[in-house]
Amino acid sequence: MQGTSTPNRAQGVSAHRSGDTLEGWGGIISAHLDDWAAELDCTPEDVLGAVDSAGIDPITDTAKNKGQGKDRDRPTDPALRCLALTIDDAQTLKNVLSQ
C-alpha cells in the first residue's frame, strides 16, 4: 500500500494542463508568481492586484507569514514567490485580468 506522501507523478497521475506554464492537481493550481503572470499575459503586479481586487484568498502565498514561530524572510521575488489557487479562483483571476 502506498502512503499519502507519494507524489502524484510517482503514482502515475496525469496532470491537468491548464496552459503552457501551469498545471492543476486535485482542483488546485500552484505556480510561481512569474508563471501566473506569463500564463495570463500580464505582470506579477497585475496578478497580485487582481487577486486583491477580486477578494481571492489564495490557498497558499509563500510571501505571507505562516504565523508560527519567529518571523522569517518569506520570498517576495516573483521568480520565487508561489501562489496556489482553486481552479474556480484561477478562473476568477483570469476573468478579472481580461476586463
Q: Model confidence over 40-58: pLDDT tens digits?
A: 999 999 999 999 999 999 9
pLDDT of residue 6: 47
User: How many residues are recorded in the chain?
Assistant: 99
pLDDT of residue 74: 75
For residues 25 and 16, the answer to whether their CB atoms sit within 8 Å is yes
pLDDT of residue 21: 66
Who's near 42: CB < 8 A, 6+ residues apart?
A: 97
What value does the mean pLDDT take over residues 63-80? 72
Task: Identify the DSSP state of 16.
Answer: E
Confidence of residue 23 (pLDDT cuts 50, 70, 90): confident
Confidence of residue 4 (pLDDT cuts 50, 70, 90): very low
Cell 479562483 belongs to which residue? 89
